[in-house]
Structure 1
């Protein structure tokens, strides 16, 4: 008897293309270079900005505390990077991202 591989299917839509373009222009690295690392953060400011752009282009209008729900059922590690899960994209992290950008100038 043959075993079938464990396949997982995700809905990427246009987000894969947008994430790829953001990677090619080096958005995350550029932002992180200006902002710098924050102690204890699991999601960098650049990565949080990339997630916010993907969310905005997902044509979703929801409160910040539901931000992580947008990425449920989407391959966040493929779109954003290894180790990034929807739970890490919480309202606390996403709320601090604009503050970090403002402080960096």
Structure 2
């Protein structure tokens, strides 16, 4: 048990159960903003003077968060529909991976051009397994039509 307080005392529809639901519903949003502050996403300080540029940067960061969240949701839904898992950071199966972890998994993959031929290097069976659940556009990106 814990205490929940509100300044919405005049709202009769805000009973204890609804207040708790609203409070718990904030967690995914808060997690998203934590992603935006992560040093892996935002590696150094940025100094902007113009309010228009600050607004533009906020818009771009918000769009990045939207794409990140939609990709994570899509991956988790695909895993759930197939009743499958992917390995987490500790190598244990999970049906709810984060996109941050998926992005880190794919960091070692590179496109190399040798004698005019393009090659994908470091693409493992684990990557191929994950790509099954990320959809055709991702597979096409890695030339896996």
Same topology, TM > 0.5: no
Q: TM-score normalized by structure 2?
A: 0.26
**Bigger RCO (CA 8 Å, 6+ sep):** 1
User: Which structure: larger Rg?
Assistant: 2
